[in-house]
Amino acid sequence: MPSGTADIALRTEGRAGIVTLNRPRAINALTHAMVLAVDTALTAWEHDPAVHTVVIEGAGERGLCAGGDIRAIHDAARAGGSAAQAFWRDEYRLNARIARYPKPYVALMDGIVMGGGVGVSAHGSVRVVTERSRVAMPETGIGFVPDVGGTRLLGRAPGELGTHLALTGTPVGAADALLAGLADHFVPAAGLPALVRDLAVLPAAEAVARHTGTAPPGVLAEQRGWIDACYPADTVETVVERLLDSGVPAAKEAATTLLAKSPTALKTTLATLRRSRGLATLEEVLDLEFRVSSAALTTPDLVEGIRAQVVDKDRAPRWTPATLPEVTDADVARFFAPPPGGDLGLAGALRTRTTPSSGPPPGSEVSGPRSGGEVSGPRGGA
C-alpha cells in the first residue's frame, strides 16, 4: 500500500483505493507534496490487481478541495515564480493522468470544490456532487486565469455557460454542475459513507447507480437565454455592454461582478477559453494553460489579487491596468508565449506514447470530453 504524507491519507478498503485530502482547516488546499503523494498512489494502485476503483474525498465538513495553496503561490510569485512553476508542472501532469486513468476514478465533490480541487476531481471518470457542492473556477478574482484543464471543461459546457462561469468565477451547485458538464451524478451528502462502502465491494458503476438521486433545482437552465446572448463575443468589453443592455437584473449583476475582476485576467481568460476550444486533447490545453500561468507570475495582478483576497483580506485589489480598455492585445498575447523555463510538453509526450501501431493510451477509449476521447462514462466499470 502506498504511503501518504501528513496532508494525505491513503487506505484500501476491499477493491477500492481511497485518497483523503487531509488539510481540513485549509479546506484541503493542495500543496506540492500532496500532488506528488496522490500521483504516487495512482501509480501503485494502477498496477495493483486488488485495486479496481480509486476514490478521492476531502477530510472535514467544508469541502473536497478549495484549490491550490495560493499563499504559497503568492510567495513564489514574489520570489521569482520558480516554485509555483514546479508545482504547476506536477499538478497539471496529475490532472492529465486522472483523465486517462485506466481504472474508475470516483471523485466525491462534496462541499467546496474550486480551482485545483476541480483539477483533481472533474477530470475523473465518475464525478459525484451533493446538495452541499459549490463548484467554481474563481481565478479572475485573484488576477489569475482558470487552469488545471478548467478552460477545457468550461469551454465544452453547453452554449456560453462556461464563458460566464470562467469570467465571473460564480460557484455552482449540484444541478448546475451537472448541466455544465462538471459532474455526472448526484448523491445526497448523507449517502456518501454508504457509497464508499459499496465501492469497496462492487463495481464502480453499480455502486454509484445504487445511490444516485435527483439534484435540487439549479439556476443556470433558466439563465441560458441571456447568458447565450451576451457572452459569444470577441471582447470582454462587448460582453459587459451586452449584459448591461439586456434589461435582465441577473445579467446586470454579472456585469458588475466582471467589472470588479482583474481586467487583464478577464481578457486573458476569454482568449484562453476560445483557444482551448480548438484543441483536440486535454494535454494540449494544459500545455496552453501552463504558458498562461507562467506569464501570470510576472504580472502585478496575481500578487495583488491574492494579497487583497487572502493575505490582507481587504477585498480591495488595485489592478494594473485598472480598466478593460487599458489592456491591449499585446498585453494578452504575451501570456501565450513560451515561458523562460520551457513548455510543459504534455501533448508532445502523448504523441510519443501514442503511435499507429500501439493504439491510444490506457483509458483514453472512455475518456469523454474531459480528455479528448469520444465516449464518456466510468472507465471499465470494474
**Cβ atoms of 106 and 184 closer than 8 Å:** no
Distance in angstroms (rounded) separating the CA atoms of residues 297 and 144: 9
Separation in Å, CA 171 to CA 89, 96, 183, 382: 26, 23, 14, 32
Separation in Å, CA 119 to CA 108, 136, 140, 150, 212: 13, 11, 17, 7, 23
Transcribe 141-180 into DSSP letters: GGT----TTHHHHHHTSSTTHHHHHHHH---B-HHHHHHT
Separation in Å, CA 45 to CA 55, 93, 256, 261, 305: 11, 17, 47, 41, 39
Coil, strand, or helix at residue 20? strand
Continuous H helices in the chain: 32-46, 70-79, 82-99, 116-119, 150-155, 161-168, 174-179, 192-199, 204-211, 220-230, 236-245, 249-259, 263-277, 282-296, 300-306, 329-333, 346-353
Distance in angstroms (rounded) separating the CA atoms of residues 161 and 353: 34
Cα–chain center distance at 167: 14
Q: What's the per-residue H, E or C state across 182-228? A: CCCEECCHHHHHHHHHHHCCCCHHHHHHHHCECCCCCCHHHHHHHHH
Instruction: Give Dmax (Cα) for the chain.
Output: 59
Distance in angstroms (rounded) separating the CA atoms of residues 9 and 20: 5
Residues annotated as part of the active site: 68, 116, 139, 147
Q: Which residues contact 198 (CB under 8 A, 6 or more apart)?
A: 206, 207, 210, 211
C-alpha cell at 149: 484543464
Distance in angstroms (rounded) separating the CA atoms of residues 11 and 118: 22
